[in-house]
A and B are shown apart, each in its own frame.
Chain A
Amino acid sequence: GAGVSQSPRYKVAKRGQDVALRCDPISGHVSLFWYQQALGQGPEFLTYFQNEAQLDKSGLPSDRFFAERPEGSVSTLKIQRTQQEDSAVYLCASSLGQGKGWYEQYFGPGTRLTVT
């Protein structure tokens, strides 16, 4: 079946612009995660949804970052007033969120954000 999809794959933003990154999880996956990955580093947790509820947003680096999943499927990560330090790959992952494989996450291809 279809995996996790993300769009756009690449985004170049000028400093100060707002951006919106989209994630379409695997159908039926309850849990959805957003990560930020800098070059040469492992993914850093940003936020977690179970269905439409955002249960953990402790990893969001500032109040310029906002995520939503209003209908429990597609999610959007929004970054306001982008800064150069926001340049990274933004990864979305989904997992069943129930039963066996509860926490086994499957990643999308990521969105590479470059802030100039």
Chain B
Amino acid sequence: QKEVEQNSGPLSVPEGAIASLNCTYSDRVSQSFFWYRQYSGKSPELIMSIYSNGDKEDGRFTAQLNKASQYVSLLIRDSQPSDSATYLCAVNIYAGNQFYFGTGTSLTVIP
């Protein structure tokens, strides 16, 4: 079992809709969780970090963490064509220096 699992997609949503991206992780002691956006041919760009159970909002983005279910998600409200990219979930194990990335979910926002 991989440490971080994501649905590779592709996920397509119409412009203005909510895009929901999901990620599960295997290590129960994981403490830090991150969402990155990666445009084709570019490097990952940090969108959000989340460390505690619950929701964290930043503009159109909301990260949700449920440690009991080992699940982290990213909601993108009012999706725009410029949001079309691959979204990577990353997990850091407590007191460890290794970060595990999922394979990413490809999102397309249709104008």
Interface residues of A (CB under 8 A from B): 31, 33, 35, 40-45, 48, 50, 55-56, 58-59, 91, 101, 103-110
Contacts and interface: CB of A to CB of B under 8 A. Distances in A.
B100 A45 contact: yes
Contacts, number: 52
Contacts of B34: 103-105
Contact of A55 (B97, B101, B104): B97
A105 B46 contact: yes
Interface in B10-33: 32
A43 B101 contact: yes
Contacts of A31: 97
B43 interface: yes
A44 B101 contact: yes
A14 to B, nearest CB: 24
B44 A91 contact: yes
